[in-house]
Chain A
Amino acid sequence: MIDMLDLNDKHILVTGASSGIGKETAILLSKLGARVSLVARREDALKETVSVMEGDGHHWYSCDVSDAENISGLVSAIAGESGAVDGFIHCAGIGVNLPVSVTRTDTIDSVMKTNFYSFAEFIRLLSKKKNSNAGASFVGVSSVASLKGDKSQGAYAASKAAMNAYIHPAAKELSARGIRVNTVAFGMIKTEAYERFLEAGGQDTALQDQYLGYGEPVDAANLLVFMVSSASRLITGTTVVCDGGYIS
């Protein structure tokens, strides 16, 4: 029997690892033998995630990646402690729901800092040989909003579309070292963020279009793990859609 998703002793960096898709992905990676470096703001939630992971060699880092100036020191610390990465999964991000009539540039800037600038800064730093191994895979968590945004998703959709655009040149540039760069555009996944969105009075109109139903965090984790495994070694410079049919 073969194990297509064998990640034994691979070092994978996961941001946004304290909850939702990031947490589920970190846990799944550990079950497949990977060593995971987890990044998020909330220390207690990171510790809780690590406590349910399997295997050894996992380290957590409490860091606000919306401030790009924090990321250089963070990546140095991670590479120093666990070595260069074989994979990078950027789940950190925020969602903002505002009509365009009240979306000011300072709001857009704030969303871009967390969702896009941090992604670009991680890629800049991880492109260095000291921080990533040849053949590494970098994956950004994007959204179907970047391809088919709904009302009130202007700033959010733009930030995710920026990620989708950035990976094309990045994939070409880093291909010299066999490094792959992709984004995954998820449809609605039932995470804590989704629950908060509903509690805040958000209108859930996506289910009609997402005709396979909403995803669970593990559905997202399955694809992200595949994307950092060698099973996806011919996939680069593209946005993979995982949306239960939403944009079809």
Chain B
Amino acid sequence: MTNEKKLELIEETFDVEPGTLAPETELESIEEWGSLTKLSLIVMLDDECGKTINNDIIRSLKTVQDIMDLMEQ
């Protein structure tokens, strides 16, 4: 999956305008980074990447790049 596609999926999950997020964007700086978005992220990673993640992994995420790295594995 290309980085562009990953960013597109993450922006869709966060329900933010295309082009809003960059790999270095800190998650805590994103208004939409709340409990509902975290649940949506879990579903997206499962649907799109077949990856199951737990709350410990969610808590360890700091930047958009961290999510993109998860999508790679």
Contact = CB atoms under 8 A, between A and B. Distances in A.
A20 B23 CA distance: 51
A190 interface: no
B15 A173 contact: no
Q: Tell me the interface secondary structure of chain A in the complex.
A: loop
B57 to A, nearest CB: 23
Contacts of A173: 36
Contacts of A128: 15
Place the interface of chain A in its size category: under 10
A128 B17 CA distance: 10
Q: Tell me the interface secondary structure of chain B in the complex.
A: loop
Interface string B35-46: 010000000000
B36 A129 contact: no
Place the interface of chain B in its size category: under 10
B43 to A, nearest CB: 11
A125 B15 CA distance: 11
A173 B32 CA distance: 12
A58 B23 CA distance: 41
A128 B36 CA distance: 13
A41 to B, nearest CB: 29
Nearest to B18: A130
Interface in B1-26: 15-17
A173 to B, nearest CB: 6
A127 to B, nearest CB: 8
Contacts of B17: 129
Best-surrounded residue of B15, B16, B17 (most CB of chain A within 10 A): B15
Interface in A212-244: none
A129 B36 CA distance: 15
A129 B17 CA distance: 8
B21 to A, nearest CB: 14
Interface string A126-152: 011100000000000000000000000
A156 to B, nearest CB: 31
Contacts of B16: 129
A128 B40 CA distance: 12
A29 B16 CA distance: 30
A128 B11 CA distance: 11
Interface of B: 15-17, 36
6 contacts: A127-B15, A128-B15, A129-B15, A129-B16, A129-B17, A173-B36
Interface of A: 127-129, 173
